[in-house]
Amino acid sequence: MAVTEEVKTPDSTPEEALAHPVTSTGLSNEKIAMWAFLGSECLLFGALISTYLLYRGRSVVGPFPHDVYDIPYTSVSSFVLLMSSLTMVLALAAMQRKDQRRMRVWLLTTALLGATFIGGQVYEFTVFYRAGLSLHENLFGSSFFVLTGFHGAHVTIGILMLLSLYTMSAKGRLAENRVETVELIGLYWHFVDVVWIVIFTMVYLVPGVK
Amino acid sequence: MSSTHDTTHDEAFSSPDPAMESPEPGVEEHYPDEWQYIKVALILFLITMAEVGIYYTSGARRAVITLMVFMMIAKFALVALYFMHLRFDSKLFRRLFVTGIILAVAVYLIALSSLHVWQH
């Protein structure tokens, strides 16, 4: 069992104690919890991707994937999300250098790239819906919208966390030594990116290979 | 706090689990610099471009799909190892994440195989 105690030396401030807790593992409990959470999320998205694969090619009525997919458009969306991972890690690097001004710039850039991805997904959903594809139209529609919708919800939660972090920093409520707070949100953000890497290949590209 | 507890606590620190060999929390000097992050992002961009390029080529379907899955795994690994710092952080974090991945892949591969998805 991990035991957490604050370091209390005559010189340590409450913020320093918060940033460097002593645990029985020597590792941050919050970071262990985040990795355990991300490990469990693999099972959630694994179930959704498996459901999509199970129903692939079993729809009796259209629209079918090749009727609605726009691969160049989705490739640009994927690129936007990939680059948001870069800006997120640059935000963390800035925080490690105690440069909060630059960190805020990168955080806002990451949130904007995430919002661009979500905007693209909303547009894509709208186009698909106008083409006759809905959640209950056929098996493809059900599994596609549930999978990509869950992923989109995760990205949206990530954007809200990024904006909260930005606001905390802008108001001076983010102590310089709380690097781990930025790192934990970064881990979540990178996770939604790696999930999209799998979705892009398994859901968009592979079924269309001739 | 009792002295017994202190002793146990000290022992826990003096003989750490090999899985937890890592820099202390908050120590960042083992992480890559910004240029390395940019290089990784460039590689990710190139792999994505190659994936889309392969999508439009007409070749042996099985070979193209294998190549795409290989590229997907490469992208996944690059993000996890460099952006999520799994290459530089404690092995315990890597084990937690990899356990989730292995469990998910094994469970769903068995489930999909039992439903004859690959023959469809």
Q: Residue A158: give its domain's CATH number.
A: 1.20.120.80
pLDDT, tens only, B64-118: 999 999 999 999 999 999 999 999 988 999 999 999 999 999 999 999 999 888 7
Average pLDDT estimate for A48-74: 90
Q: Is the pLDDT of residue A195 over 60?
A: yes
pLDDT digits (tens, 9 = 90+) for B32-76: 889 999 999 999 999 999 999 999 887 788 899 999 999 999 999
Which chain B residue shows the shortest CA-CA distance from A202? B69
CB pairs under 8 A between A and B: 162
Q: Please name the residues in contact with A164: beta carbons below 8 A apart, sequence gap of 6 or more.
A: none
Domain count, chain A: 1
Is residue A84's pLDDT more than 60? Answer: yes
Partner residue facing A197 (CB), from B16, B55, B72: B72
A16 part of a folded domain: no
Any domain includes A2:
no
Could you tell me if B55 and A208 are in contact, meaning their C-beta atoms sit under 8 angstroms apart?
yes
Residue A198 lies in a domain: yes
Residue A24 covered by a domain: no
Helix (H, G, I), strand (E, B) or coil at A174: coil
Q: Does B74 touch chain A (CB under 8 A)?
A: no
CB contact under 8 A, B108 and A209: no
| Mean pLDDT, range A179-191, rounded to an integer | 96
Q: Which of A56-60, B14-18, B35-39 has the highest mean pLDDT?
A: B35-39
pLDDT band at A19 (very low <50, low <70, confident <90, very high): low
What pLDDT is attached to residue B10?
45
pLDDT at B11 over 70: no
Q: How far apart are CA B110 and CA B117, in angstroms?
A: 10
Report helix, strand or coil for B84. Answer: coil
Q: Determine contact, residues A169/A88, Cβ cutoff 8 Å.
A: no
pLDDT in tens, A100-153: 999 999 999 999 999 999 999 999 999 999 999 999 989 999 999 999 999 999
pLDDT of residue A18: 54
Asked if the Cβ–Cβ distance from A54 to B117 is below 8 Å, we say yes
Contacts of A79 in chain B (CB under 8 A): 45, 48
What global pTM score does this model have? 0.84
- Alpha carbons B37 and A90: distance in angstroms, whole number: 8
Q: Give the pLDDT confidence score for residue A23 in this predicted structure.
A: 81
Q: Please give the mean pLDDT across all residues of chain A.
A: 89
pLDDT score, position A146 = 97
Please tell me the predicted confidence (pLDDT) of residue B57: 85
On whether residue A135 sits in a domain, the answer given is yes
Q: How high is the pLDDT of residue B60?
A: 83
CB B71 within 8 A of CB B51: yes
User: Which chain A residue is nearest to residue B37, measuring alpha carbons?
Assistant: A86
Nearest by CB: A54 against B64, B82, B112: B112
Q: Does some domain include residue A35?
A: no
The predicted structure's pLDDT at residue A208? 80
Cβ distance of A82 and B55 shorter than 8 Å = no
B76 lies within 8 A of chain A by CB: yes
Name the band, by pLDDT with cuts 50, 70 and 90, for residue A13: low
| Residue-number span of the structural domain to which A119 is assigned | 40-208
Q: Is B18 on the interface with A (CB under 8 A)?
A: no
What pLDDT is attached to residue A17?
A: 52
- In chain B, the residue whose alpha carbon lies closest to the alpha carbon of A4 is B9
Closest C-alpha among A164, A165, A181, A204 to residue A68: A204
Q: Where are the domains of chain B?
A: 31-89, 90-120
**Would you state the pLDDT for residue B5?**
43
Span A175-195, mean pLDDT?
95
Q: Check CB contact of A93 with chain B, cutoff 8 Å.
A: yes
Between A131 and A57, name the one with better pLDDT: A131
